[in-house]
Homo-oligomer: A and B are copies of this chain.
Amino acid sequence: MNITFTPIGTIHTPYTKKKNNTPFQSIEDDKEEFFVTVYPEHVKRLEKLDLFTYIYLIYYLDQTYKEPKDLVHPPWTKNTAVGLFASRSPNRINPIGLSVVKIKEIKENQISISGIDAFDGTPLLDIKPYIKDLDAKTDANYGWLEDAKFKDHLLLHIKGIPHDH
């Protein structure tokens, strides 16, 4: 079974494959500009989206393709191996990216957002509202990241907090 999707717009970031400067997770970065544009035919479909603090962006990881592995070694984890589906590696069976981002402003077909770990030009597939009680699970955990050897460091990256390595 083949499932076919088509982009609804584009993600714009300061990150390019050439510069290889993409962080490993979304960062709330106020110095750089991150925004999403939807194609003109979708502008009306953004109505009332600006009332949400956060949204999900679902996108096509078109610039990161490598053959997916069974196990991956997440960055900064000192030889830990975890299953591909227990990781957020971009080299997935279906290269679908998912990020929670903050809305700064919506003007016409342009949504200014907080940082996102995607290359400039990444095709956008869907936007969904992030709804407090539905999506913010306060009893969530860190899974294999609990491992004390590297958790604190990895969390700095996850939270986008600058630090010396």
Contacts and interface: CB of A to CB of B under 8 A. Distances in A.
B129 A143 contact: yes
Nearest to A138: B136
How many copies make up the complex? 2
Interface string A104-138: 00000000000000000001011111111111111
Interface string A125-165: 11111111111111111111110000000010011000000
Interface string A55-97: 0101010100000001100000000011111111000111010
B86 A48 contact: yes
Contact of A1 (B100, B123, B138): B123
Contact of A144 (B26, B48, B62, B158): B48
A141 B49 contact: no
Interface bracket on A: 35 or more
A127 B96 CA distance: 10
Interface of A: 1-8, 25-26, 38, 42, 44-49, 51-54, 56, 58, 60, 62, 70-71, 81-88, 92-94, 96, 98, 100, 123, 125-146, 155, 158-159
Given A48-B86, A133-B155, 16 more contacts: A1-B123, A2-B5, A3-B7, A4-B5, A45-B86, A46-B83, A52-B140, A52-B141, A53-B143, A56-B98, A87-B129, A94-B125, A131-B140, A133-B142, A136-B140, A138-B138
> Nearest 10 pairs between A and B by C-beta?
A47-B83, A52-B143, A49-B86, A45-B84, A85-B127, A44-B70, A51-B143, A5-B94, A48-B82, A132-B140
